[in-house]
Amino acid sequence: MSIRLFLPQDTTACALGANEVASALLAAAAERDMDIELVRNGSRGMFWLEPMLEVEEDHQRHAFGPLTTDDVDLLLRCLLDDLSVHPRYLGPTEAIPYLQQQQRLTFARAGIGDPLCLDTYTRLGGFKGLQRALQMDGQQIVDEVKSSGLRGRGGAAFPAGIKWQTVLDAQSAKGQKYIVCNADEGDSGTFADRLLMEADPYQLIEGMLIAGLAVGATRGFIYLRSEYPRAFKILQQAIERAEQAGYLGADICGSGKTFELEVRLGAGAYICGEETSLLDSLEGKRGMVRAKPPLPAIEGLFGQPTVVNNVLTLAAVTTVMAEGADYYQNYGMGRSRGTLSVQLAGNIQRGGLIELAFGATLRQVVEEFGGGTFSGRPVRAIQVGGPLGAYLPQQHWDTPLDYEAFAAIKAMLGHGGIVVFDDTVDMADQARFAMEFCAVESCGKCTPCRIGSVRGVEVIDKVRANVERDNNLILLRDLCDTMEAGSLCAMGGMTPYPVRSALDYFADDFQR
């Protein structure tokens, strides 16, 4: 009987050498005439252990990692004898504390099997939510999502059920509504969407199907950033297989309902993660931000009622529908219900994906899961929520991961990205970069963002060169106020967050 091994095909695993380990493994096994079956799964999200190999033995998975090609020979010998003697042996995968201490709902299946295997997906509970949705009418599905308390995971945290209700109630002049998945995961420090699409793509497809049934939309688009070529290939194949199996197309599971899905690539514009800019881009235009109203839910893609949701929001819907709103609602705190997929990144010992009920503190995540910095130096600043999120000093690390708690300290949870910096960071550099990034990525439609960001870089340069420093610091704050109050979208409106937090909490760095 052949031995089943699992080695991820995930971007980060491959960036750390998974393909080289896979080739070495297959070659060494062939040389020894060993019968092995190598499954290229998704990642479990414990990136510091990648490439992480798993072995299935007596229905239990055992992990080894991080592996290099040098570990392969001994590994094959251990497979025939005693697994635990290998220096890279990590024990049963499910017992690794990093994984065991999570509350995985959305990422429960991630890393278990071949991401494209439909049998694996259904065996692990996939399409259960869809089957239930097929028995319900649109309003019932929307009510279920509403009572789950699910809020948009892309950053704005708008209640998903209310958005869906608006689209359900909207009349389309052309009789066409759309579901658009925002997979333009451009925030630095975030990779949960990518991980999910590479590890469990059918979950996203199922979520979009449910959304289509709920609001009466028959067409869907996944707008994927072009920086994710691996996710693109996996999604394309997953869509094709789902079509062949009757989950997508003219007659979903024999229900007579239609849903067609297409994945589209962006072209390297951060702003296209903003939903209205994304819609313009999908229509084949420059990705310019639209003024709201009209809301995309009423006049969205090609002017028709459109649900625009993040990957993780649509994925979470499958749990809500499969297990019921109450089940989902039981996780979390306050108005933040369910789980948050924290992405631990930057200068961190144990970086990766940590799915937890809302309410854990930043410190718990960074210290207990992350194990401190990669460099071994003290943590100085933590940026939460991507390039538009505030840099938080130690005094705020006990803030619970909750949308309202973060808003109260003028920060934001956003998409759950946490980027850790050690004490070598120059916060004036980081403030300057925030403005520079805004200047590079602004769509250019509104003046405070387009010009304010350029002026922001110049003013910070003057502060650092000690040219009328005090006056220029006042000017910088003034500029931040103008950008926040006068910009059309979050790009110009929130670039002041990282800048002000650097000024407020790390003032010394501007006085050198």
Report the interface residues with other proteins, using CB under 8 A: 11-12, 14-16, 47-48, 50, 185-191, 194, 226-230, 262, 264-270, 281-287, 302, 343-348, 351-352, 374, 383, 387, 417, 419-422, 425, 429-430, 433, 437, 440-441, 443
DSSP one-letter string for 458-510 = HHHHHHHTTSSHHHHHHHHHHHHHHHHHH-SSHHHHHTHHHHHHHHHH-GGGG
- What is the three-class DSSP state of 388? coil
Return the amino acid letter for 196.
Answer: L
Q: Measured between alpha carbons, how far is residue 444 from residues 36, 224, 440 in Å?
A: 55, 22, 10
Nearer to other proteins, 23 or 139 (CB): 23
How far apart are CB 186 and other proteins at their closest, in Å?
6
State the amino acid at position 320 in one-letter form: V
Rounded to a whole number of angstroms, the minimum distance from the CB of residue 487 to other proteins is: 18
- Of 20 and 114, which CB lies nearer to other proteins in the complex structure? 20
**Min. distance of Cβ 66 from other proteins in angstroms?**
10
Judged by beta carbon, residue 52 or residue 325, the one nearer other proteins is 52
Shortest distance, position 12 Cβ to other proteins, whole Å = 5
Residue 333 vs residues 173, 337, 396, 397, 409: alpha-carbon distances, Å: 41, 6, 18, 18, 17
- Give the nearer residue to other proteins in terms of CB position, either 97 or 444: 444
Q: Are the C-beta atoms of 495 and 453 separated by less than 8 Å? A: yes
Of the pair 129, 389, the CB lying nearest other proteins is at 389
Nearer of residues 56 and 461 to other proteins, judged by Cβ? 461
Helices (H), 89-156: 97-100, 118-123, 128-134, 138-148
Question: How many other C-beta atoms can be found within 10 angstroms of the C-beta atom of residue 175?
Answer: 9
Q: Which is nearer to other proteins, 247 or 270 (CB)?
A: 270
Nearest distance, CB of residue 364 and other proteins, angstroms: 18
Q: How far is the CB of 285 from other proteins (least distance, A)?
A: 6
Report whether 19 contacts 11 (CB < 8 A): no
Q: Rank residues 228 and 406 by Cβ distance to other proteins and give the closer one.
A: 228
308 phi and psi angles, rounded to 5 deg: -115, 115
Residue 127 is classified by DSSP as T
Closest C-alpha to 409, from 417, 397, 423: 397
Residue 286 CB, shortest distance to other proteins, in Å, is 4
Give the integer Cα–Cα distance in Å for 498 and 388: 6
Q: Whole-number minimum distance, CB 270 to other proteins, in Å?
A: 6
Q: Based on CB atoms, which residue is closest to other proteins, 180 or 360?
A: 180
> Which is nearer to other proteins, 61 or 230 (by Cβ)?
230
Query: Of 285 and 292, which CB lies nearer to other proteins in the complex structure?
Result: 285
CB of 450 to other proteins, least distance (A): 13
Minimum distance from CB of 259 to other proteins (Å)? 15
Pair 296, 275: CB distance under 8 Å: yes
The answer to whether residues 394 and 137 touch, using CB atoms and an 8 Å cutoff, is no
Residue by residue, DSSP assigns 166-216 as HHHHPPPTTS--EEEEEE---STT--HHHHHHHH-HHHHHHHHHHHHHHHT
At closest approach, how far in Å is the CB of 476 from other proteins? Answer: 20
Instruction: Return the number of other C-beta atoms located less than 10 Å from residue 378's C-beta.
Output: 11
- Phi first, then psi, for residue 422 (nearest 5°) are -90, -175
Extract the tokens encoding 171: 């009349």
